[in-house]
Structure 1
Amino acid sequence: MITVNRFTLSNGLRVVHNHDSATAMVALDILYNVGSRDERPERTGMAHLFEHLMFGGSENVAEFDKALENAGGTNNAWTNSDYTNFYDIVPAHNAETAFWLESDRMKGLAFSDKALEVQRQVVCEEFKQVCLNQPYGDLQHYLNGLAYKEHPYRIPVIGKELSHIENVTQDEVRRFFYDHYAPNNAVISV
């Protein structure tokens, strides 16, 4: 029988835990309750941008990926209309490193101008590649608009317009982070 423990920390972070002694690895999955449905119509693509920005460093760690890789781990993320999900997989003896890295970026993203510019370019190129530079790449934009007239799902996860990400400001980025990337808006599964 599998035992799953569930509890909520004093800061509001919901925790789901299962111990599997058959593996020497630990998987952390942090699900933030934020997606494209939480964006303003005049500034879309923010949740997807943050999927990228969260790897751009925090107050104490310049490069999230490098620190996790140095601990023998790997990671990735995805975003949809409702959630943004980050996961880390590390050897069990380095689980504390993964916990610390995740808590550090949840507590304080670096917000450097360099990280914003790098990730803005990455996301803009992805938008061009997926939506503009292939036949029917913008089909989802039209379908979402037809299927959802008023609902937030009308906004494609990648963003409605390229200019929304091209013109995002550091203040908008900070506001979006502090509105959505907090312990009481997340679930961590271990």
Structure 2
Amino acid sequence: MKNTTQAPSTKPDITFQVPVDYYKLDNGLKVILSRDTTSPTVVVAVYYNIGFRIEPKDRTGFAHLFEHMMFQGSQNLGKMEFIRLVQRNGGVLNGSTRFDFTNYFEILPAHKLETALWAEADRMKGLAITQDNLTNQQGVVKSEVRVNVLNQPYGGFPWLDMPQYANQNWFNAHNFYGDLADLDAATLEDVQQFFKTYYSPNNAALAIVGDFKPEEAKALVQKYFAGLKPATLPAQPDISEPRQEKEKRSVKKDSLANKPALAFAYHMPKRNTPEFYAMGLIDQILMQGNDSKLYQALVQKKGYTGSVSGGINYLGNMFNYNGPMIWMGDLIYDSNVPADSILAVLDSEIAALDKNGIDQASIDRALVKIRSSLYDNLTGTYGFGRADLLACFALFDDNPARINELEAEFKKVTPDVIKKTVSEYLRPTNRTILTVDPLAPAESK
């Protein structure tokens, strides 16, 4: 194997270090080991570098459909046997499709590490791709769309809707859940080609977090994954977004909603830039918690709404994506409140930051909040939060040790960087407004 082990950062202002042992198999599989003996459990997470963004055109929802297919059986495990295998060994499991990855994970008693690795390697090697399985899962996904979006008040608002309004590039702006006609049009050949192309070891990262012996874990990874063949990966499509130069406003009619709702979105800075980290702190200042400026202004002072939700990346967090992203907020409000009154409060709070800037004490408070959020994520769900970031940083940056650099990057943000970021990224011309019009005949976009 090609050893590319990276030592964690040793910057003196960071008190907690995540152990990171990173290497690659000869077939391209990225492997990250992070030992944690605080509980006798182990997380095995396999992340494939394929998500909503680059699914085939005219096959909206295909990446999500394929996530379902991964539980329909493999060479040595029949339909749904993967799930039963994990549960009967005292574990839990799940999978999900996101903007830039599809992931599968198991949390098991530590002594069942080999079971999880064998099972994940078995389905990476080959799925039971049959017409019966495809037809069945097309029906399951279509039912999911009907239940969660089409027949639900505020269905898809704003997490599914806003990217379609705020973005211009099809890869960022199509219906990620899937158009029902597109789901029906997926063929067995489509599924077979999708698996062959994207579910290969050189398009994946394997993260193991928990109570294990590193040399034993490496031997098991070598045993079950080293023999899998890599694929020829296609060129990545252009997923960039042009600079937005004019505010966009749209209305979605929703016959099932009983109150109006409003969402606003601003395009984010590029990942890993000073402005990216500044937006993380701005999010804490404006949006997160009852002490945030928008909560205080819209809920406590004006009483326009009972809560304000929002943040960076509604389908995860500000670290586990790899492309254009929006910072977004949303709220449901009383019908006697004009939408422009809400936007006036938003504009006022942003204008105050733009004009007056922010002092270091406020930045320090935001740092405390974001540090708390980061460590909650790293320690949550028996280590899955840690596995998630390690796998994403391996896939997107070829550097899972970046997990130990995040806090230091936020600490580099100065009041000047905050002010610069507000001026460029929270300008009205970089904004998209989407309102829900209730109790009206439902219309498509």
Q: TM > 0.5 between the two? A: yes
RMSD: 1.7
SS in 1 for 2:205: strand
Deviations 1:10-57 (A, max 9, x none): 111101101122321110111111011111221111110111111111
2:191 corresponds, among 173, 177, 183, to: 173
Alignment of 1:120-159 (within 5 A): 120-137=138-155, 139=157, 142-159=161-178
Q: Would you say 1:111 and 2:154 are equivalent positions?
A: no
SS in 2 for 1:87: strand
- List alignment gaps of at least 5 residues for structure 2: 1-16, 209-445
Could you tell me how far 1:115 is from its partner in structure 2?
2.0
Specify the alignment match of 1:27 in structure 2.
43
SS in 2 for 1:47: helix
May I ask how many residue pairs the two structures share in their alignment? 189
Q: Would you say 1:45 and 2:45 are equivalent positions?
A: no
**Cα distance in structure 2, aligned partners of 1:135 and 1:68:** 35
Q: If the length of structure 1 is used for normalisation, what is the TM-score?
A: 0.92
Specify the alignment match of 1:184 in structure 2.
202
**Contact 1:41 / 1:155 at 8 angstroms: preserved in 2?**
no
Identical residues among aligned pairs (%): 40
Alignment of 1:64-75 (within 5 A): 64-75=82-93
Q: If the length of structure 2 is used for normalisation, what is the TM-score?
A: 0.41
Could you tell me how far 1:157 is from its partner in structure 2?
2.4
**Cα distance in structure 2, aligned partners of 1:156 and 1:35:** 13
Could you tell me how far 1:142 is from its partner in structure 2?
4.8
Specify the alignment match of 2:100 in structure 1.
82
**Contact 1:42 / 1:164 at 8 angstroms: preserved in 2?**
yes
Could you tell me how far 1:169 is from its partner in structure 2?
1.0
**Contact 1:79 / 1:157 at 8 angstroms: preserved in 2?**
no
SS in 2 for 1:55: coil
**Cα distance in structure 2, aligned partners of 1:148 and 1:135:** 24
- List alignment gaps of at least 5 residues for structure 1: none
SS in 1 for 2:182: helix
Specify the alignment match of 1:163 in structure 2.
181
**Cα distance in structure 2, aligned partners of 1:136 and 1:94:** 42
Compare relative contact order (CA 8 Å, sep 6+) and give the higher one, 1 or 2.
Answer: 1
SS in 1 for 2:195: helix
Q: Aligned AA for 1:85?
A: N
Cα distance change of structure 1 residues 78 and 142 upon mapping to structure 2, 3 Å threshold: closer
